[in-house]
Structure formats: C-alpha cells, structure tokens
C-alpha cells in the first residue's frame, strides 16, 4: 500500500504553476520573517509559531484544492491560511490584534479564521480540530456536495485520542477528508520516537482501513502529487486518506523557544536547512529552465512588497473598540 | 528563610517531597528532558531519573488516567498540566475517576494525587489558553482546589497537596512564576489546605482575592487607605474546602465584603464566596456582598481588550466605595 514518495519528475513543469508555487512559498516565508521581527518589536504578543521550513507542505497540498474546498489547521497555520488565499494584510492585522484583522483582533496568531476562503481556522488545543475536520466532511456529505476538507496537524497530535477517534469515524463513515500530518519530528521538545510506539504515522491508516501514504514534505511537487491523488479519490469515492508529510521546522517551537534547544542539535538543524524547500524548488526551476533568474527576482520583489504592505496595513489599523470585548459571545 | 521565586519554591517542594517519599513521582508533557515548559521541574529528571520523572506524549486524558490508576495502587503521582486549559481534555478522568473512586468504592480506593500547572490569564494567549480553570473543578465533591499566590504558599501548599490522600487541583500562574519572596527552608514546613491568609489587616471591608487579583487588591487597599477606607485583604488560598474561621471571621469584623476574581463572573468563584459569606455571616453584613469579576466573555487576543477583560483597579475601588457607602 503506502510508501514514502519523493517525486522529482524529469519532465519540465508548467511555468505558470511553478510561478504560483514559488510565489506562495516565498510569501509565507517573508510574511513569517517579518512577523518574527514584529514580535521582537512587541507589535505581536502571545504565542507566535513559525512555519518556516515547512512551506512546501501547505503550498503543495492546498494547490490541488478548489476554492470551495475547506482547510482547517492547528496553531502553526499562517502558511495554510495564506495558501488558501487569505489577504496577508488582514492576517498581519490579526497578528497585531487590530480591528481589521481576520478575526477582528480577537483571535491572534493561533486563531486565524477566514470564512470567505473556507478556512475553518487555527485551533490551539492539540488534536481538537481533527474531529472538526471530520464534522465538516460530514456536513459536505450530508448536503450532497463534492468538496473536500483538508486537515493539517502535527505529529504531536497523533498520540492524542482525538486523532484515533477521527481516523476511525472518517473511515467508518466514508467522509471526504484528507488528513495531512506535518511530521516535523518534534512536538515542542519531544522527539517523535519518545512519543509514538509507531513512528511511521501513515501506517495508522492501515489500522483504520483507509488509504495512507508518506511523502517528502520538502518537495512541493511530491506533496502536490500525493495530495492531488488523495483529493481526487476523496471527491470520487468520498474516501478519506491519511498523508504523512515529512518535514522539519527550522525555528523554535514558538518565538519563546530557541531554534536548537536541548532537544535537538545545531548540527541537525543546519543539516535540515540544506533541504530548504524553497531553495530546492527555486534551484530546480532555474536548472530546468522553467523560470529565469530575472523572473525569480521579480517574484521575490513582489512578495516582499506584499508583506511590506501587510505590515503597513496592520500598523495603521486601530485597536478594536472596547465594546467588542463582550460582543459575539452569543449570536443575537 | 531564603528568598526565591515562586517557580523555585514549587521546584523545591517537588524535590523535597520526592526525596522524602519514594512513592511520589512526576508525570506530564515536557517535564523531564525539556525541564518543564515553564521550568518548574528544572533539574528533577537529573536528580531522580526517568523512573520518577516521566515525560509523556500529548495525551492528557491518557496520562491523567494512568496517574489515577497508579494512585489506586498506592503511588502518589504529581501530574503536570502544561497549562490548565489542557486539563479539560482530562476532565473525565479527574471528575469521573479521581474525584469519585473513594466514594464509589465505599472507601476502599482513595486517590492521592496532585494535578498542577499554570492557569488563568497570561500575556495575550487568547481564548483557549487563558482560562481561569478553578471554577471547573471546585464544584466537584471529592476534589480539593488550591490557588497559591506567593512563593511561600506555593511551597507550603504544594507539599501539603502531595501529602494529602485526596486528588488536589493545584493551579499556579504564568504571571507569578517570576515573583520573589521569602520561603522557609525547613523541609517539614507545610501550610495546611483549607487555611486562608490575611494579607493586610483592615477594619472597614474584607476584600477576598487570590493570585494576580490579590496583588491588585493590595494596591487598591494602599490607595484607599489614603481616603480613610481600611481594607482587610483575605486570600482564600484553598478554594475547596474554604476556611470558615478566617474568611467569615474577617467579615464579622469588617461587616462588609467584596470578592475579586479574574475569571468570568457567572457561576464563578465570586458567586460561591459571596454565597458562603451571606450564608454564614448575613446578620453581620452592613451591605450586600459585591463581586468584581472578569467580563463574561472568552479571553480576547488584542492587548487592549485583554486588559479590559480582567477587573481593573478602578473597578475594584468603585465596588469597595459602594459597599462602604463612601
Ligand atoms: C491538548 C494540548 N496539550 C498541550 C498543548 C501545548 N502544546 C502546544 S503545541 C505542542 C506541540 C505540538 O506538536 P505538533 O503537533 O508536532 O505540532 P508542531 O508544533 O510540531 O507543528 C504542545 C505540547 C496544547 N496546545 N494542547
Ligand atoms: Mg511536530
């Protein structure tokens, strides 16, 4: 059944697609680099979890979706939200806790929601959104739709009961959901072999009678391929899939955790950075002539500009009015 | 006496109790190799080894249940919730197992365990990470609930909690881990559960407050003293069982009471304390008990809204003035 897939097809990729994938990965990278700066300046508070190093998963996977498909994620969700098409300006405003933020400043970095993009949110209790994904898929089926739900979660959610309950329900009820585990090998400071009796996460699919596959999460095209097939199967047969995307977070768990703390070595982090998904993809596109140096530079500049605009927008947005504190507790 | 942080006081309590009693062990996320998400368990893996400092995967219901099972066989687990918000996932084990086993088994199986970790509002951690969780537990017969406000209390109360033969919910605070204070060195120093503490003596009104709100109440008392209002600040420390003698004794003296709590007010801690005061000291009261509570809303992320969520000094002062007819 399943096996690790690293796909680097010899054929030249479509230039338009390459531009889109590279743009999105760069947008996410810049967005988060700037967010880290803003955190250091005190413009962003609370917890800030960066996705840097993992961009190929979110971009590759989301790229196969239709706009009316759904995405749901945990608290490391800036990349997923951007890939789903949310406005970086309103996202940055949310990180700043301002009134023009996606959640009006009430949610913050961990709780980005964008109904207009079918982005079902960032959820900060590990494992809690997996049943929600199954529930969204349940609703799609109930309503006779052909959309799918893509659910991102970390390796740290796998020991949690809600993971297992969700896998079972999704498979038992044939729900149109694709679970994408972003296995970056650590849950905070806990290496995966200290948390899981079975560290090959895709293998849990077998137990629950669903399709499962592992993929190189540093290869945006490989992710696209594997998730693409899963989404197609999902739409056709309403059969769920569990995908394990093997990736790595280059930064600390959050801004409060150093990138190479006690639980991993500097050497390991440096070694993994050699497989920077953005660099790999850029080099590949340049090498096979899909994109030119000039085109890549243009993309970089465009993405930088977008993020500059986002920061300026967030900075200019006012604080939420105090009446909003007790508004929206209940729907009137 | 040594001056140490609240965090160090907790660490010392754990260390001393583990040295004293080989049945005591620690279990939770990131408590060993990582030295604790908030460094409360720093160095304990090194001293006591993996047998007694058990790192777990993320599975709160699972490892809390494991602790309950181990306690049934006579071990004395201390469970760390990385933050108390995650104890919601373990609520079934806490409420349906830990709290009820002694009763359901007709006194055969008691559950000597502590569940500890930080709770309450911190710094812009938003709705799912800022909850004042004590109210979820204090309703449950069979549980004791502690909220220690000072380094001295942190040590003395945690030691008592570990020695207690019942499940004890022990909720610390992210915002207090760094505060310093004097802590007795004696390894036999403990503070009994169920004993409140008078933080400041006064004659006109009793202000009940704990954790961050206790410190705010002290500042308020200082300012109101200039206006000639004398506040007695009482820290319940243990929320279940409540200390009738100290808490009611204070109200009998001042004839007025204000309860301050950070959490949402509806069915909150203030509801219970004001009922407790009204039931036990109605005839002594010169005014209805007032509650000053957090807004009845989840915790927002935005800094200004977060500030507005918890009771401000102004609100506390206004309530005290009202009660005192000033
Ligand atoms: C139920 C629960 N327990 C603990 C936490 C604290 N916590 C936040 S993130 C995290 C690690 C999760 O790791 P993983 O799922 O692998 O995601 P990653 O951070 O690697 O993206 C922990 C323990 C939490 N948010 N929720
Ligand atoms: Mg992880």
Catalytic residue among B8, B16, B17, B60: B60
Q: HEC states along chain B?
A: CEEEEHHHHHHHHHHHHHHHCCCEEEEECCCCCCCCCCCCCCCHHHHHCCCCEEECCCCHHHHHHHHHHHHHCCCEEEEECCCHHHHHHHHHHHHHHHCCHHHHCCCCCCCCCEEEEECCCCCCCCHHHCCCCHHHHHCCCCCEEECCCCHHHHHHHHHHHHHCCCCEEEEECCCCCCCEEEECCCCCCCCCCCCCEEEECCCCEEEECCCHHHHHHHHHHHHHHHCCCCEEEEECCEEECCCHHHHHHHHHHHCCEEEEEEEECCCCHHHHHHHHHHHHHHHHCCCCCEEEEECCCCCCCCHHHHHHHCCCHHHHHHHHHHHHCC
Q: Tell which CATH architecture fits domain B2-183.
A: 3-Layer(aba) Sandwich (3.40)
Count of Cβ atoms closer than 10 Å to residue A116 Cβ: 11
Mutate to test the pocket of ligand 1, among B29, B33, B34, B58 (most ligand atoms within 8 A of CB): B58
A35-71 pLDDT tens trace:
999 999 999 999 999 999 999 999 999 999 999 999 9
Q: What is the mean pLDDT of chain A?
A: 96
User: What pLDDT was estimated at residue B201?
Assistant: 98
A-B C-beta contacts closer than 8 Å: 122
A103-124 pLDDT tens trace:
999 999 999 999 999 999 999 9
Which atom of ligand 1 approaches the CA of A124 most closely?
A: 25
Q: Taking a C-beta distance cutoff of 8 angstroms, is the pair B204, B257 a contact?
A: no
- pTM of this structure: 0.96
Q: What is the mean pLDDT of residues A167-188?
A: 98
Using a CB-CB cut-off of 8 Å, the residues of chain B touching A199 are none
User: What pLDDT was estimated at residue A6?
Assistant: 53
Q: What is the mean pLDDT of chain B?
A: 98
Question: Computed over its alpha carbons, how large is the radius of gyration of chain B?
Answer: 19
CA distance A72 to A179: 10
Interface test with A, best of B46, B59, B66, B85 (most A CBs within 10 A): B59
- The two tokens of residue B132 are 């004042």
Where are the CATH 3.40.50.970 domain residues in chain B?
A: 2-183
Q: What is the mean pLDDT of residues B46-64?
A: 98
Determine whether B60 is an active site residue.
Answer: yes
Q: How far is the CA of A2 from the centre of ligand 1 (A)?
A: 26
A215-251 pLDDT tens trace:
999 999 999 999 999 999 999 999 999 999 999 999 9
Q: Which residues line ligand 1 (CB under 6 A)?
A: A 76, 124-126, 154-157, 184, 186-188, 253; B 29, 58, 60, 82, 86, 89
B281-302 pLDDT tens trace:
999 999 999 999 999 999 999 9
CATH topology of domain B197-324: Rossmann fold (3.40.50)
Interface check A265 vs B, CB under 8 A: no
Using a CB-CB cut-off of 8 Å, the residues of chain B touching A124 are 126, 128-129
User: What pLDDT was estimated at residue A214?
Assistant: 98
Contact A322 B304 (CB under 8 A): yes
Residues lining ligand 2 (ion), CB within 5 A? A 154-156, 184, 187
CA distance B44 to B52: 9
B156-198 pLDDT tens trace:
999 999 999 999 999 999 999 999 999 999 999 999 999 999 9
Where are the CATH 3.40.50.920 domain residues in chain B?
A: 197-324
Interface check A262 vs B, CB under 8 A: yes
How many angstroms away from the CA of B58 is the closest CA of chain A?
6
Q: CB-side exposure of A30: number of CA atoms within 13 Å?
A: 21
Interface check A181 vs B, CB under 8 A: no
Residue with tokens 């899963």: A230
User: What pLDDT was estimated at residue B267?
Assistant: 96
CA distance A1 to A113: 35
Q: How far is the CA of B42 from the centre of ligand 1 (A)?
A: 20
Interface check B58 vs A, CB under 8 A: yes
Contact A325 B305 (CB under 8 A): yes
CB interface of B with A, residues 139-178, below 8 Å: none
Interface check A325 vs B, CB under 8 A: yes
CA distance A228 to A191: 29
Interface check B225 vs A, CB under 8 A: no
Q: Point out the ligand nearest to the CA of residue B58.
A: 1
Interface check A189 vs B, CB under 8 A: yes
User: What pLDDT was estimated at residue A10?
Assistant: 52
Q: What is the mean pLDDT of residues A65-82?
A: 98
Question: pLDDT-derived band of residue A167, with 50, 70 and 90 as boundaries?
Answer: very high
Residue with tokens 């929600």: A132
Contact A195 B61 (CB under 8 A): no
How many angstroms away from the CA of B258 is the closest CA of chain A?
23
Q: What is the mean pLDDT of residues B130-142?
A: 96
B240-258 pLDDT tens trace:
999 999 999 999 999 999 9
User: What pLDDT was estimated at residue A2?
Assistant: 45
Q: Which residue has the higher pLDDT, A258 or A326?
A: A326
Sign of CA dihedral A92, A110, A175, A136: negative
| Maximum distance among all Cα pairs of chain A, rounded to whole angstroms | 58
Question: pLDDT-derived band of residue A1, with 50, 70 and 90 as boundaries?
Answer: very low
**Beta partners for residue B208, in sequence order:** B234, B259
Q: Is the pLDDT of residue A3 over 60?
A: no
Q: How far is the CA of B85 from the centre of ligand 2 (A)?
A: 20
Q: How far is the CA of A17 from the centre of ligand 1 (A)?
A: 33
Catalytic residue among B8, B16, B129, B272: B129
CB interface of A with B, residues 90-149, below 8 Å: 97-98, 103, 105-108, 110-111, 123-127
Q: What is the mean pLDDT of residues B97-118?
A: 98
A279-314 pLDDT tens trace:
999 999 999 999 999 999 999 999 999 999 999 999
Q: How far is the CA of A155 from the centre of ligand 2 (A)?
A: 5
Which atom of ligand 1 approaches the CA of A125 most closely?
A: 26
User: What pLDDT was estimated at residue A259?
Assistant: 75
Q: Is the pLDDT of residue A5 over 60?
A: no
The DSSP H or E segment spanning A215 is strand A211-216
User: What pLDDT was estimated at residue B287?
Assistant: 98
Which atom of ligand 1 approaches the CA of A154 most closely?
A: 15
Q: Tell which CATH architecture fits domain A20-313.
A: 3-Layer(aba) Sandwich (3.40)
Q: What is the mean pLDDT of residues A118-138?
A: 98
Q: How far, CA to CA in Å, does A226 sit from each of A9, A241, B151, B246? A: 13, 10, 54, 66
Interface check A190 vs B, CB under 8 A: yes
């Amino acid at each position: 059944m399943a096996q690790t897939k690293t796909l680097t097809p010899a054929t030249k990729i479509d230039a338009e697609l390459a531009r889109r994938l590279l743009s999105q990965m760069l947008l996410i990278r810049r967005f988060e680099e700037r967010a880290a700066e803003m955190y250091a300046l005190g413009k962003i508070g609370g917890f800030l979890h960066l996705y840097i190093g993992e961009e190929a998963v979110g971009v590759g996977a989301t790229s196969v979706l239709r706009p009316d498909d759904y995405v749901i994620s945990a608290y490391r969700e800036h990349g997923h939200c951007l890939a789903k098409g949310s406005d970086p300006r309103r996202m940055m405003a949310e990180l700043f806790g301002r009134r023009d933020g996606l959640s009006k400043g009430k949610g913050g970095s961990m709780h980005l929601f964008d109904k207009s993009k079918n982005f079902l949110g960032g959820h900060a209790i590990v494992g809690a959104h997996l049943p929600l994904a199954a529930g969204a898929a349940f609703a799609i089926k109930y309503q006779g739709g052909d959309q799918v739900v893509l659910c991102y979660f970390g390796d740290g959610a796998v020991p949690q009961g809600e993971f297992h309950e969700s896998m079972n329900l999704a498979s038992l009820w044939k729900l149109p959901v694709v679970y994408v585990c972003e296995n970056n090998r650590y849950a905070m400071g806990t290496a995966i072999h200290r948390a899981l009796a079975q560290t090959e996460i895709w293998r849990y699919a077998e137990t629950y009678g669903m399709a499962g596959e592992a993929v190189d999460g540093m290869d945006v095209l490989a992710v696209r391929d594997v998730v693409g097939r899963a989404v197609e199967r999902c739409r056709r047969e309403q059969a769920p899939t569990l995908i394990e995307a093997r990736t790595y977070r280059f930064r600390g768990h959050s801004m409060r955790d150093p990138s190479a703390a006690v639980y991993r070595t500097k050497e390991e982090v440096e070694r993994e950075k050699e497989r920077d998904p953005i660099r790999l993809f850029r080099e590949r596109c340049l090498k096979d002539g899909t994109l030119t140096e000039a085109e890549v530079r243009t993309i970089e500049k465009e993405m930088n500009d977008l993020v500059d605009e986002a920061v300026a927008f967030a900075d200019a947005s006012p604080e939420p009015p105090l009446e909003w504190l007790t508004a929206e507790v209940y729907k009137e | 006496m040594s001056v140490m942080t609240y965090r160090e006081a907790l660490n010392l309590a754990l260390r001393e109790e583990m040295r004293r009693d080989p049945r005591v062990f620690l279990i939770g996320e990131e408590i060993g190799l990582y030295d604790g998400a908030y460094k409360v368990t720093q160095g304990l893996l090194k001293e006591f080894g993996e047998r007694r400092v058990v790192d777990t995967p993320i599975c709160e219901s699972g490892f809390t249940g494991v602790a309950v099972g181990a306690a049934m066989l006579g071990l004395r687990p201390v469970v760390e919730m990385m933050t108390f918000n995650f104890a919601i996932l373990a609520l079934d084990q806490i409420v349906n197992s830990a709290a009820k086993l002694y009763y359901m088994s007709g006194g055969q199986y008691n559950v000597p365990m502590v569940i500890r970790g930080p709770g309450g509002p911190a710094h812009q951690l938003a709705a799912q990470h800022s909850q004042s969780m004590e109210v979820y537990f204090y309703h449950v017969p069979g549980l004791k609930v502690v909220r220690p406000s000072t380094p001295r209390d942190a040590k003395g109360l945690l030691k008592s909690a570990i020695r207690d033969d019942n499940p004890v919910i022990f909720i610390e605070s992210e915002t207090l881990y760094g505060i310093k204070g004097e802590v007795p060195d004696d390894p036999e120093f403990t503070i009994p559960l169920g004993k409140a503490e008078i933080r400041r003596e006064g004659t006109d009104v009793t202000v009940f407050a704990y954790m961050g709100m206790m410190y705010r109440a002290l500042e308020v008392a200082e300012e109101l003293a200039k206006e000639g209002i004398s506040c007695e600040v009482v820290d319940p420390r243990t929320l279940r069982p409540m200390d009738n003698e100290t808490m009611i004794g204070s109200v009998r003296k001042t004839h007025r009471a204000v309860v301050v709590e950070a959490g949402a007010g509806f069915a909150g801690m203030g509801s219970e304390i004001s009922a407790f005061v009204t039931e036990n000291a109605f005839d002594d009261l010169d005014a209805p008990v007032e509650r000053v509570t957090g807004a009845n809303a989840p915790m927002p992320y935005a800094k200004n809204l977060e500030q507005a969520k918890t009771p401000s000094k102004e609100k506390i002062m206004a309530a005290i003035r009202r009660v005192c007819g000033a």
